[in-house]
Amino acid sequence: MRTLLNILWFIFGSGFLLGLAYGIAGIICFVLIVTIPFGVASFRLARYSFWPFGYDIAERPSAGLASTLANIVWFIVAGWWLALMHITAGVALCITIIGIPFGIANFKLVPAALWPLGREIVARA
């Protein structure tokens, strides 16, 4: 079921566009060199955006003060509008009955979009 939902999400649920946007943002962050940690977070979000079903976000226990400070910068620069985008898309998808699983997937992306550093994507057991 996860595979089917992931394929439908990729094609119809904006998974391709979200993943592509996060991937392009990651490339830009790597080009700017100083923002490489944000590029790594963008690639992590791209992977999660491509295939959200069957995966969860977990706190990385080794994350420290640097991750928190970088997350504050991320929140100010990009996090709040990314979260708003996912919330808006989630609400729009939940209006239709068939779009509810995709709306829930968008809601799952909100915490990752707000605070991506110090987190990891893990397979659901």
Q: pLDDT for 23-60, tens place per residue?
A: 998 999 899 988 899 999 999 999 998 999 999 888 88
* pLDDT band, very low/low/confident/very high, at 119 (cuts 50, 70, 90): confident
In this model, does residue 94 exceed pLDDT 80?
Answer: yes
Residue numbers of the domain that contains 65: 2-123
Residue scoring higher pLDDT (13 or 104): 104
- Spatial separation of the C-alpha atoms in residues 45 and 110, rounded to whole Å: 10
Distance between CA atoms of 24 and 43, rounded to whole angstroms?
9
Helix ranges (DSSP H) in the chain: 2-12, 15-31, 36-50, 65-74, 80-95, 100-114
Torsions phi, psi for 105 (to 5 deg): -65, -40
Q: Total structural domains in the chain?
A: 1
- The pTM (predicted TM-score) of the whole model is 0.82
> How much is the pLDDT for 107?
93
The yes-or-no verdict on residue 63 having pLDDT over 80 is: no
Q: What is the pLDDT of residue 78?
A: 84
Say if CB 9 and CB 102 are below 8 A apart. yes
